[in-house]
Structure formats: C-alpha cells, structure tokens
Amino acid sequence: MKILVAGKGGVGKTTTSALLAHILAEEGYNILALDTDSIPNLAQSLGVPYERALGIVPLSRNEELAQERTGARPGEGWGVLFSLTPKVDDLAEKYGISIKPNLKLVVIGSIEQSKEGCLCPSIALARAFLMHVLFSERDIVIVDSEAGAEVFGRGLAEKFDAMLCVAEPTLKSMVIAKKLIEMGRQLNISNIFLVINKVQDSLKASKLYARVFSDSTPYHLVSFDENVTMIENEGKGVDCIPKDSLIYRDVDALARKILGIKKRSKVV
Ligand SMILES: Nc1ncnc2c1ncn2[C@@H]1O[C@H](COP(=O)(O)OP(=O)(O)O)[C@@H](O)[C@H]1O
Ligand SMILES: [Mg+2]
C-alpha cells in the first residue's frame, strides 16, 4: 500500500508521516518511508540523530550515484544523452537507513524538474527509483511530500492508494488543503483524507471543516500536543512520544483507518 502525505510547509506532514511509520511498523508491517522534501527532515523525526541526519545526501542530489547509474558525468547531464532507465532496484537496500528492522528510510529530496523542463541525471535517478517503488509490491510505503500529488504527475500519482492532506485548523490552511485534495482527485487517487492537525478545539475545527468542505471528504482530527516540540528539542524521534499522549492516540486512530482501507481493498 502506498500513502502520500501532502500539504503546505509547517502543517505537520513530517511529524504525521514519522509517527504513522512507527505505529504501522509496530503492527508488524514492513515500512519504507520516503522523504521528497527539498529540505528533508523526516530522518530526524524518525529518530536519526541530527548530526547523522545532516550527513545524508538526498538521492536527487547524489551526482556520484547518478553518474554511476545513468552514465552522465557530473555537470554534463544537461542536454547530454543519459540513461533514463538506470538500475534502481537495489537502492532501498543500499541507501536506505534502517530505523528499525522493519522500518527503512530513503531520503530522495525534491523531484521537481527545473523550470526549463530539463531533467538532470540525479533527478532522473530519483524519479526512476520512485517509479520502481510505486510499482513494486511492498507492505507500506509512506511518502512525505512538500508538494501535492501533481509533482508525481499522471501515471505515478494514481499509484498511491491513499493521500493524507494535512492542514492546520485555520481557514487559510483548509482552503489550501481543499485545492490539494481537488488535484489529488483529478489525478485519480482513490482514498483521500483531510488530516486536520494541531487541533486544540475540536468543535471549532469541525465547524471550519464544514464551512470549507461542503462535500463528504473524510477528515481526521489530530490534537495539538506539546510532546512533539519537547521530543524535537531533545533531539529525539517520534518513537519517544508517550503512547498515552493525545497525538499518539489520534495518529494511532488514523493508522487504523488506513489499515481498514488496506484490508478492504486488499491493496498490497
Ligand atoms: N500535533 C502537533 N502538536 C504540536 N506541534 C506539532 C504537531 N504537529 C506538528 N507540530 C509542530 O509543527 C512544526 C512543523 O511540523 P512538521 O511535521 O515539520 O511539518 P511539515 O512537515 O508539514 O513542514 C514542528 O516543529 C512540530 O513540532
Ligand atoms: Mg516536513
């Protein structure tokens, strides 16, 4: 099953992705977490010490690897012919960071193409890897993405079985989420959830939802929880969030909904 976690910056995508990954891993599933943010930080949220996290080279910036796999020398990619079908099936094994025996992270970085429309070799490699992962049969893939489904484009976007569009309980944030959700629908993603995060007043959040979403877009509330900033400031990952905390309870309930989809539709 492939899950896309999308939304504007700062709403809580990385926190949600990381906690979801840990919870689903605890349920015994094999999880591959992918970070496609241009400034990746999922590693830290998953519990990789930040000194180590700083040293991770995202796949879409790894020119050496791109040279090895595409045949293009660094700086030579633009306008030069290189392989668009590089070998990628071993990348999760070789470049994945093992968080737990059944939870692996691959930092991909931004997969957006340049404004000129060219594809540099390292981004071609990252895209080929994503394509490979999205077409492969895996337990659960969670993609933390700063953009919406549109960066994946047709052909790739519909490979997601679910999209969680994260928003804050403000009118502005929900209006943005509504647009991202519409794009997700146009790209034929079948299960779309609005995740309203950092909720302090659930009645207010539900009213806002009703105001912006006149349709029946499923939504899920995740409470504001000071444990998140506390563990972040201690340099710890979300695995250190207490199980009896509000955020754990709410993301755990979200995980159950996702597993419900997985079981109902028998998606891999
Ligand atoms: N449920 C929550 N309660 C309290 N703080 C949160 C919650 N979710 C996220 N945050 C805080 O919001 C900030 C942004 O979260 P992050 O997950 O990095 O967002 P994004 O990945 O969307 O940019 C973080 O500093 C985090 O501590
Ligand atoms: Mg993030």
pLDDT-derived band at 143, boundaries 50, 70, 90: very high
Number of H helices and E strands in the chain, helices first, is 10, 8
**Which has the closest alpha carbon to 164: 6, 22, 25?**
6
User: Which residues have CB under 6 Å of ligand 1?
Assistant: 7, 9-15, 197-198, 222, 224-225, 228-229, 232, 247
Across 5-14, 22-31, 61-70, 222-231, least confident range: 61-70
If one compares 12 and 147, the residue with the highest pLDDT of the two is 12
Say whether pLDDT at 40 is over 90: yes
13 φ, ψ (degrees, to nearest 5): -60, -50
Q: What angle do the packed helices 13-26 and 246-265 form, to 10 degrees? A: 70
144 φ, ψ (degrees, to nearest 5): -90, 110
CA gap 3, 164 in Å, rounded:
7
Question: Measured in angstroms, how far is the CA atom of residue 254 from the centroid of ligand 1?
Answer: 16
Query: Tokens 């779309």 correspond to what residue?
Result: 192
pLDDT, tens digit (0-9, with 9 covering 90-100), for 158-187:
999 999 999 999 999 999 999 999 999 999
- Give percent above pLDDT 90 in the chain: 69
What pLDDT, on a 0 to 100 scale, did the predictor assign at position 64?
Answer: 87
What pLDDT, on a 0 to 100 scale, did the predictor assign at position 150?
Answer: 82
Q: Are 213 and 219 contacting, i.e. CB atoms less than 8 angstroms apart?
A: yes
Question: Measured in angstroms, how far is the CA atom of residue 157 from the centroid of ligand 2?
Answer: 19
If one compares 53 and 84, the residue with the highest pLDDT of the two is 53
Domains of the chain are 2-42+97-110+137-265 (3.40.50.300)
Which residues are near ligand 2, the ion (C-beta closer than 5 Å)?
13-14
Ligand approaching nearest to the C-alpha of 42: 2
Question: Measured in angstroms, how far is the CA atom of residue 146 from the centroid of ligand 1?
Answer: 13
Structure tokens at 249: 């309870």
Say whether pLDDT at 265 is over 90: no
If one compares 225 and 88, the residue with the highest pLDDT of the two is 225
What pLDDT, on a 0 to 100 scale, did the predictor assign at position 77?
Answer: 53
pTM of the predicted model as reported, rounded to 2 decimal places = 0.94
What pLDDT, on a 0 to 100 scale, did the predictor assign at position 137?
Answer: 84
pLDDT, tens digit (0-9, with 9 covering 90-100), for 41-74:
999 999 999 899 999 999 998 888 988 888 876 6
Computed over every residue of the chain, the mean pLDDT equals: 91
What pLDDT, on a 0 to 100 scale, did the predictor assign at position 268?
Answer: 55
If one compares 147 and 5, the residue with the highest pLDDT of the two is 5
Could you tell me where the DSSP H helices lie in the chain? 13-26, 42-46, 50-54, 63-70, 91-95, 121-135, 171-186, 202-212, 226-233, 246-265
pLDDT, tens digit (0-9, with 9 covering 90-100), for 92-135:
988 999 999 999 999 999 888 765 565 688 888 998 999 999 99
Ligand approaching nearest to the C-alpha of 35: 2
